[in-house]
Protein backbone atom coordinates (compact mmCIF):
# COMPACT_ATOMS: atom_id res chain seq x y z
CA UNK A 1 0.00 0.00 0.00
CA UNK A 2 1.17 3.51 -0.79
CA UNK A 3 -0.18 6.78 0.48
CA UNK A 4 -0.12 10.12 -1.25
CA UNK A 5 -1.16 13.17 0.72
CA UNK A 6 -2.58 16.30 -0.82
CA UNK A 7 -0.85 19.47 0.25
CA UNK A 8 -3.25 22.02 1.72
CA UNK A 9 -3.60 25.04 -0.51
CA UNK A 10 -2.61 28.40 0.98
CA UNK A 11 -5.40 30.79 1.91
CA UNK A 12 -8.86 30.03 3.13
CA UNK A 13 -10.08 26.65 1.93
CA UNK A 14 -13.65 27.66 2.84
CA UNK A 15 -13.66 30.27 0.06
CA UNK A 16 -13.09 27.58 -2.57
CA UNK A 17 -15.57 25.00 -1.24
CA UNK A 18 -19.14 24.56 -2.43
CA UNK A 19 -21.85 24.89 0.17
CA UNK A 20 -22.60 21.16 0.30
CA UNK A 21 -22.14 19.78 3.83
CA UNK A 22 -19.95 16.90 2.63
CA UNK A 23 -17.26 19.45 1.73
CA UNK A 24 -17.08 20.53 5.40
CA UNK A 25 -14.97 17.46 6.19
CA UNK A 26 -11.28 18.26 6.69
CA UNK A 27 -9.64 15.48 4.67
CA UNK A 28 -11.20 13.24 2.04
CA UNK A 29 -10.03 9.63 2.33
CA UNK A 30 -9.88 7.86 -1.02
CA UNK A 31 -8.68 4.33 -1.73
CA UNK A 32 -7.80 3.25 -5.26
CA UNK A 33 -7.69 -0.50 -5.87
CA UNK A 34 -5.49 -1.54 -8.81
CA UNK A 35 -3.85 -4.68 -10.21
CA UNK A 36 -0.18 -3.83 -10.64
CA UNK A 37 1.16 -0.96 -12.67
CA UNK A 38 -0.89 -1.51 -15.80
CA UNK A 39 -1.70 1.32 -18.20
CA UNK A 40 -5.27 1.41 -16.88
CA UNK A 41 -4.11 1.53 -13.25
CA UNK A 42 -1.63 4.32 -13.93
CA UNK A 43 -4.26 6.27 -15.90
CA UNK A 44 -6.78 5.88 -13.07
CA UNK A 45 -4.26 7.26 -10.56
CA UNK A 46 -3.30 10.18 -12.83
CA UNK A 47 -6.97 11.04 -13.42
CA UNK A 48 -7.75 10.80 -9.70
CA UNK A 49 -4.80 13.00 -8.74
CA UNK A 50 -5.83 15.64 -11.32
CA UNK A 51 -9.46 15.64 -10.16
CA UNK A 52 -8.44 15.89 -6.50
CA UNK A 53 -6.07 18.79 -7.16
CA UNK A 54 -8.73 20.65 -9.13
CA UNK A 55 -11.72 20.01 -6.85
CA UNK A 56 -10.51 19.15 -3.33
CA UNK A 57 -7.93 21.92 -2.83
CA UNK A 58 -5.27 19.56 -1.46
CA UNK A 59 -7.55 18.31 1.33
CA UNK A 60 -7.40 14.63 0.47
CA UNK A 61 -5.43 11.45 1.04
CA UNK A 62 -5.14 8.76 -1.62
CA UNK A 63 -4.27 5.20 -0.63
CA UNK A 64 -3.24 2.87 -3.46
CA UNK A 65 -3.99 -0.82 -2.87
CA UNK A 66 -2.31 -3.18 -5.32
CA UNK A 67 -4.35 -6.38 -5.24
CA UNK A 68 -1.58 -8.33 -6.98
CA UNK A 69 0.50 -7.79 -3.83
CA UNK A 70 -2.35 -7.92 -1.28
CA UNK A 71 -5.34 -9.81 -2.77
CA UNK A 72 -6.91 -10.36 0.65
CA UNK A 73 -7.62 -6.61 0.91
CA UNK A 74 -10.29 -6.83 -1.82
CA UNK A 75 -12.79 -8.45 0.56
CA UNK A 76 -12.97 -5.50 2.97
CA UNK A 77 -14.48 -3.13 0.41
CA UNK A 78 -16.08 -5.90 -1.69
CA UNK A 79 -14.00 -5.13 -4.79
CA UNK A 80 -15.18 -7.02 -7.88
CA UNK A 81 -13.56 -5.03 -10.74
CA UNK A 82 -10.39 -3.00 -11.18
CA UNK A 83 -9.48 -0.24 -10.98
CA UNK A 84 -12.01 0.78 -8.33
CA UNK A 85 -12.04 4.01 -6.34
CA UNK A 86 -13.59 3.89 -2.86
CA UNK A 87 -14.46 7.11 -1.05
CA UNK A 88 -14.07 6.20 2.64
CA UNK A 89 -14.65 9.72 4.00
CA UNK A 90 -16.86 11.65 3.97
CA UNK A 91 -19.50 9.01 4.53
CA UNK A 92 -21.41 7.31 3.03
CA UNK A 93 -18.86 5.10 1.30
CA UNK A 94 -19.04 5.48 -2.50
CA UNK A 95 -17.43 3.35 -5.25
CA UNK A 96 -16.48 4.21 -8.82
CA UNK A 97 -15.22 1.54 -11.20
CA UNK A 98 -12.95 2.30 -14.17
CA UNK A 99 -10.00 4.49 -15.13
CA UNK A 100 -11.75 7.68 -13.91
CA UNK A 101 -11.34 9.36 -17.31
CA UNK A 102 -14.90 10.72 -17.31
CA UNK A 103 -14.41 13.67 -14.94
CA UNK A 104 -18.12 14.52 -14.72
CA UNK A 105 -18.99 10.95 -13.78
CA UNK A 106 -16.27 10.91 -11.11
CA UNK A 107 -17.45 14.24 -9.65
CA UNK A 108 -21.04 12.96 -9.48
CA UNK A 109 -19.83 9.65 -8.02
CA UNK A 110 -17.85 11.45 -5.33
CA UNK A 111 -20.86 13.70 -4.69
CA UNK A 112 -18.86 16.80 -5.63
CA UNK A 113 -21.30 17.73 -8.40
CA UNK A 114 -25.05 17.15 -8.53
CA UNK A 115 -26.39 14.56 -10.95
CA UNK A 116 -27.91 16.25 -14.01
CA UNK A 117 -31.21 14.83 -15.26
CA UNK A 118 -30.93 16.31 -18.72
CA UNK A 119 -28.16 18.03 -20.64
CA UNK A 120 -28.56 21.72 -21.45
CA UNK A 121 -26.98 23.12 -24.59
Domains and CATH numbers, the chain: 24-109 (3.40.30.10)
- Give the pLDDT of residue 2: 52
Which residues are CB-neighbours of 20 under 8 A, at least 6 positions away? 111, 112
Question: What's the mean per-residue pLDDT of the chain?
Answer: 82
- Give the pLDDT of residue 113: 83
- Give the pLDDT of residue 118: 57
Closest alpha carbon to 22 in 102, 100, 110: 110
pLDDT digits (tens, 9 = 90+) for 25-73: 579 999 999 999 999 999 999 999 999 999 998 899 999 999 999 999 9
Three-state DSSP state, 20: coil
- Give the pLDDT of residue 75: 92
- Give the pLDDT of residue 114: 75
Q: Work out the pLDDT band at 20, boundaries 50, 70, 90.
A: very low
C-alpha span between 52 and 46 (Å, rounded): 10
- pLDDT exceeds cutoff 60 at 109: yes
DSSP secondary structure letter of residue 108: H
- pLDDT exceeds cutoff 80 at 1: no
* Under 8 Å between Cβ of 88 and 60: no
C-alpha span between 17 and 63 (Å, rounded): 23
C-alpha span between 63 and 4 (Å, rounded): 6
- Give the pLDDT of residue 58: 87
Amino acid sequence: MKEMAGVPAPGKAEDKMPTTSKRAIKTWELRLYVAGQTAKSLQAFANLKRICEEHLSGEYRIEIVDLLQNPQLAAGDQILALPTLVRKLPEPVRKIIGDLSNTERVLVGLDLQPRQLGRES
